[in-house]
Chains A and B, each alone.
Chain A
Amino acid sequence: MTAEVLQVHNLRVYYQTAVGPLKAVDGVTFSLKSGERFGLVGESGSGKSTLAFALMRLTKPPGCIEGGQVLLDGLDLIKLSESEIRKVRLAQIALVPQGAMNSLNPVMRIKDQIIDGIRDHLNEIPRSALEERVHELLKRVELKPEVANMFPHELSGGMKQRVCLAIAISLSPRVIIADEPTSALDVVVQRQVMLTLGQVQESLGASVLLVGHDMGLMAQFVGRIGVLYAGKLAEVSSVREVFKEPLHPYTQLLIACPPSLKEKGEFKGIPGLPPLLLNPPSGCAFHPRCPQAMSRCSVEVPSLKEVYPGRWVGCHLYTEVKR
């Protein structure tokens, strides 16, 4: 079961602005194995949500997918027509949205919001079968069947997020993209929702792409992690290795950020500000903030290379592994 379900090759998403293109996602390459949990982290504005949306072709103007490939079981989603991609959404690749508070239609009953997704993908299904499916889905995300007849404003934040989860898995997709699914929830509910997401994912055998900036959450949930900086992947490794021995200087600073519970110390940040993507620094986008920057870094853009087996880093400090 190591077949790659989702392969992203050199994906570029630009926002067209009056003063030129803003390269929000600039040549990102990674892949998701079947049943794998992959985390995508990065600070605000690093392009992680833009990337997640581009994978489902949900990029809206002024955003535009400039190039690259998104292969879902070998099918290039970028090349599909509008009606073809519509059929792929939810059925093959589903989204668990970020703002669960506002992601449900306030004037529709929960069951109707689950049903309409199913109905727009499959041919005529009798109403009774649909209702039964709704109950089964609600049960899977640990909600009571009464929720089906409720309106979104009658649910708590956690319950709404579970409903979104139920919708996302309603057609047993191959890939679930969870875009900061718990950022609006408190940590207790967050944990419960993530546990449910994990269970559901395992029972479906789907892959999960978890987008977020909560390193603690990532450490607990995902197997591999990709660190995004200024629209490029800085590092891709198993989550354990990243925490044990981060390779990219940015990842090193990121891991060092949260203060330890044992020794009460200063809250460390990363000096400097994230780069303006309209006018990014030359060479490696991180070099103005990098403590280990060399003269080469401001000239040459480092490419993502495999420096140890299974560990990819985009930094001039490392050389490609010899095979």
Chain B
Amino acid sequence: MTLDYLLKRLGFFVLVVWAAATLIFLLPRLASERNPILERMGRTAAAAGVISEGLDEMVKEWEAKFGLDQPLWRQYLYYLRDMLHLDFGYSLAYYPAKVLDQVTRALPWTIGLFGMATLISFVLGSFGGALLAWPKAPRFLQYFLPLFLTLSAVPYYLLGLVLLFLFAFTTRIFPLSGGYSVAVVPSLSFPFILDILRHSVLPGLAMVLAGVGFWALQMRGMMVLGLEEDYITFAEAKGLGGKRIFFRYALRNVLLPQVTSFALSLGMAISGAILVEVVFGYPGLGTLLLKAVSGFDYNLINGVVFIIIIIIAVATLLVDLLYPWLDPRITYRRGMR
């Protein structure tokens, strides 16, 4: 890998993040008939039971405070400057909470749950799919594929609801919602970690079950073709052990397109994860995003979406940097491929 390649990848990374940041700045502001300050004021007023006079003046006052009275281009420039500092400002709906604090509180939950679930379903699905194409693999594996394929056709959140009903509502094996029990004091102790794991089983399972079939099917298809390659025949002629041929020759080569498709699927998967979090009331970015959207909280929406975009962009960058190591044929020198 060369510095040239690294810089090119990083440049692309910055470009993606900038484009995304611009989009999430513009999109909520296009809905010009709604006003977050007015909505917040209205909620407060409704809670208090009175409609105070001078509401318009108060809205103007707050708009000036949040910089919403400025022309759009100036808002945009301020916005870009703030994004560079990861300063998303104050939450409009939950003022005076800062957006960054809310996002950083939710981030580890999503990374933990989504990251683990995606990795597990990728590894499990790919390995299972490879075995499905392997002639010496146990026959019983064949019966799993139709089951998981059916499950992968069911949306994450629906699967989540079914799991909730079966294992939390009806049988009460797992908790109904949340990231940890209310009674447990958050700390780095064994019971707390166990509690977190117990809470993440069902949402994690929903994502894994929905993902495994897809990976398995794709992997089996590529593996069937991969086993036809001349180097597999020659590896057999070399009298290599079955395990070595499976891992080092067949699986290793088929993994390359599979990893590409993994990187491409991250964006799709995270949007599914958001819904799963909402279903399970999991304290991650998904739940936070739902709160932000329903409160029409520009800044919070910005913050959450921006962080999600950065997560995906970083993951894609990592896969990109991993590629030359996975496939020696890919060299990133100038003028090659």
Contact = CB atoms under 8 A, between A and B. Distances in A.
Nearest to A150: B328
Contacts of A103: 230-231, 233-234
Contacts of B326: 107
A116 B240 contact: yes
Given A86-B239, A90-B239, A120-B240, A97 B234 contact: yes
A106 B253 contact: yes
A117 B329 contact: no
Contacts of A105: 231, 235, 248-249, 252-253
A104 interface: yes
A301 B150 CA distance: 56
Contacts of B135: 61
Interface in A227-272: none
Interface in B213-240: 229-231, 233-240
Given A116-B244, A153-B329, A104 B231 contact: yes
B327 interface: yes
B248 A94 contact: no
Contacts of B234: 95, 97, 103-104, 164, 167
Contacts of B54: none
B124 to A, nearest CB: 23
Given A97-B234, A104-B231, A106-B231, A121 B239 contact: yes
Interface string A102-126: 1111111000000011001100000
B253 A88 contact: no
B335 interface: no
Contact of B238 (A89, A98, A106, A151): A89
A117 B249 contact: no
Contact of A91 (B229, B231, B235, B239): B239
B49 interface: no
B241 interface: yes
A99 interface: yes
A169 to B, nearest CB: 12
What is the interface of chain B mostly: helix, strand, loop, or mixed? helix
A151 B330 CA distance: 11
Interface in B127-157: 135
A193 interface: no
Interface residues of A, number: 30
A87 interface: yes
A91 B326 CA distance: 31
Contacts of B241: 86, 120
Contacts of B235: 105
Contact of B248 (A91, A97, A101, A116): A116
A101 B229 CA distance: 11
B224 to A, nearest CB: 13
A94 B249 CA distance: 19
A95 B253 contact: no
Interface residues of B, number: 23
B239 A151 contact: no
Interface centre among A99, A105, A116, A121 (most CB of B within 10 A): A105
Contact of B244 (A61, A104, A120, A151): A120
A307 interface: no
A107 B252 contact: yes
B236 to A, nearest CB: 6
Contact of A87 (B230, B239, B248, B253): B239
A72 B253 CA distance: 34
A116 B248 CA distance: 10
A117 B328 contact: no
Given A104-B231, A116-B244, A120-B244, A90 B329 contact: no
B328 A153 contact: yes
Contact of B231 (A87, A88, A102, A120): A102
A97 B241 CA distance: 19
A210 interface: no
A107 B239 contact: no
B195 to A, nearest CB: 43
B253 A107 contact: yes
Interface string A73-95: 00000000000001111110011
24 contacts: A58-B237, A86-B241, A88-B239, A89-B236, A90-B237, A90-B239, A95-B234, A97-B230, A97-B233, A98-B230, A99-B230, A102-B231, A105-B248, A106-B253, A106-B327, A106-B328, A106-B329, A107-B329, A116-B238, A117-B240, A121-B239, A151-B328, A151-B329, A153-B329
Given A97-B233, A117-B239, 18 more contacts: A88-B239, A89-B237, A101-B230, A102-B231, A103-B231, A104-B234, A105-B235, A105-B252, A105-B253, A106-B231, A106-B253, A106-B328, A107-B326, A116-B240, A116-B244, A120-B238, A120-B244, A167-B238
Interface of B: 135, 229-231, 233-241, 244, 248-249, 252-253, 256, 326-329
Interface of A: 56, 58, 61, 86-91, 94-95, 97-99, 101-108, 116-117, 120-121, 151, 153, 164, 167
- The 7 residue pairs across chains A and B that have the minimum distance between CB atoms: A89-B239, A95-B237, A102-B230, A117-B238, A103-B234, A90-B239, A99-B230
